[in-house]
């Protein structure tokens, strides 16, 4: 069959245009990938905060026997969160920065510490490069020192201000207008079952993530206070810094308390000798026993029961993908994925078990 030459030319041109469009889309995706990932991280953080504040608001709402409108309670909770957040930054952050710089500087310049570091390096050198660790500590300390200057501090505040404002605005919208958010999210879905499925997944995720965030913050607060009491009782310098570190590292299951104990024991050894270091070790072991046997089962329950090996893998994967932020968010992201899978199976079971009943 004879084929028109013009048709062949048109076919080649269309194929070339499609190839160019695909290349342009791939290049655009690669170029904007970092931007979209940052947006997703910001929205996820806002969702975490909104879920937490919704849990707190509902607790207050039920405690007051529903005599005050829920929206007003949510507004007051949101404003209290903003005040607490910025109050901690203004009043405590500068003290923590000063103590961190002093603490790291004194550790680095301690003459008796070099043999200990050499012994540690002998055992962990196949796994960890101590030169890299030392360089990281030096860089971290230098950045903190620079942050103490007004100009650098102002630059840092200006850099994070847009992200902070965006997170707060997104948190407010997800807190106050969550139902409309779900409604708008499902507008483009043609099937009612798909719409109900999306709503079910997000509502279950909101409940589970909110419970995890509430329990995690309560646990961090209790461990931070307990560590501060122990360190203050033993007269260990930089108790506020070390206790804050212990509280923050509670976000890492299984290994956070162990990591937090290392600088505290080191501070006891340097500033008080072996007896004080052993006393700090005993104090932290008592706190861990209290946490593992009473606090975690009562506060966390089965919300985030991750195996230690899985915890390591999740943190390493998060660190490799997004750095420190990825390491911090690795556990809640894992909880999010598990919750979505369980909720999907639950919805599917209900849907097929009761085909005539619509899920609301």
Mean pLDDT by 10 residues, the chain (360 residues): 50 60 70 75 88 90 87 91 81 73 70 62 56 60 59 65 86 88 81 83 86 85 92 89 87 77 85 88 90 75 61 75 74 83 77 48
CA 203 → CA 39, 105, 174, distances in Å? 21, 48, 12
For residue 251, the 8-state DSSP code is G
Whole-prediction pTM: 0.70
Angstrom distance (rounded) from CA 167 to CA 43 = 7
Domain count, the chain: 1
Provide the token pair at 289: 């026993």
Q: Is residue 329 a part of any domain in this protein?
A: no
CB atoms within 10 A of CB 131: 10
Q: Is residue 326 a part of any domain in this protein?
A: no
Match 């910001």 to its residue by tokens. 42
For residues 278-293, b (16+ Cβ closer than 10 Å) or e, as one string? ebbeebbeebbeebee
Q: Is residue 126 a part of any domain in this protein?
A: yes
CB burial of residue 247 (10 Å; 0-12, 13-18, 19+) = buried
Q: Is residue 346 a part of any domain in this protein?
A: no
Q: Is residue 78 a part of any domain in this protein?
A: yes
Q: Is residue 43 a part of any domain in this protein?
A: yes
CA 222 → CA 196, 226, 228, distances in Å? 39, 6, 10
Q: Is the dihedral of CA 288, 294, 295, 301 positive or negative?
A: positive
Domain with 131 in it = 39-181
Match 């960890």 to its residue by tokens. 128
Q: Is residue 67 a part of any domain in this protein?
A: yes
Q: Is residue 66 a part of any domain in this protein?
A: yes
């Amino acid at each position: 069959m004879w084929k028109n030459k013009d048709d062949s030319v048109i076919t080649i041109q269309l194929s070339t245009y499609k190839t160019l469009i695909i290349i342009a889309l791939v290049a655009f995706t690669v170029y904007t990938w970092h931007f979209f990932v940052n947006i997703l991280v910001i929205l996820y953080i806002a969702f975490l905060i909104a879920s937490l504040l919704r849990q707190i608001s509902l607790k207050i709402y039920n405690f007051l026997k529903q005599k005050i409108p829920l929206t007003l309670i949510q507004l007051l909770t949101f404003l209290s969160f903003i005040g607490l957040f910025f109050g901690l930054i203004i009043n405590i952050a500068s003290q923590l920065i000063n103590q961190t710089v002093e603490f790291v500087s004194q550790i680095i310049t301690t003459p008796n510490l070099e043999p200990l570091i050499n012994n540690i390096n002998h055992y962990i050198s196949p796994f960890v490069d101590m030169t890299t660790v030392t360089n990281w500590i030096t860089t971290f300390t230098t950045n903190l020192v620079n942050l103490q200057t007004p100009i650098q501090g102002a630059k840092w505040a200006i850099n994070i201000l847009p992200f902070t404002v965006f997170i707060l605005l997104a948190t407010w919208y997800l807190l106050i207008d969550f139902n409309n958010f779900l409604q708008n999210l499902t507008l483009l879905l043609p099937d009612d079952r798909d719409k109900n499925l999306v709503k079910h997944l997000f509502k279950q995720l909101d409940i589970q993530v909110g419970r995890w965030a509430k329990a995690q913050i309560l646990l961090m607060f209790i461990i931070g206070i307990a560590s501060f009491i122990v360190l203050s009782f033993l007269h260990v310098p930089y108790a506020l810094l070390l206790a804050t570190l212990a509280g923050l590292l509670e976000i890492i299951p299984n290994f956070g308390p162990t990591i937090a104990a290392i600088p505290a024991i080191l501070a006891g050894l340097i500033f008080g000798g072996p007896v004080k270091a052993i006393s700090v070790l005993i104090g932290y072991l008592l706190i861990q026993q209290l946490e593992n046997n009473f606090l975690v089962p009562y506060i966390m329950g089965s919300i985030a029961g991750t195996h230690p090996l899985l915890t390591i893998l999740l943190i390493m994967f998060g660190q490799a993908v997004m750095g420190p932020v990825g390491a911090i968010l690795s556990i809640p992201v894992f909880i999010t994925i598990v919750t979505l899978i369980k909720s999907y199976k639950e919805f599917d079971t209900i849907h097929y078990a009761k085909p005539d009943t619509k899920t609301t």
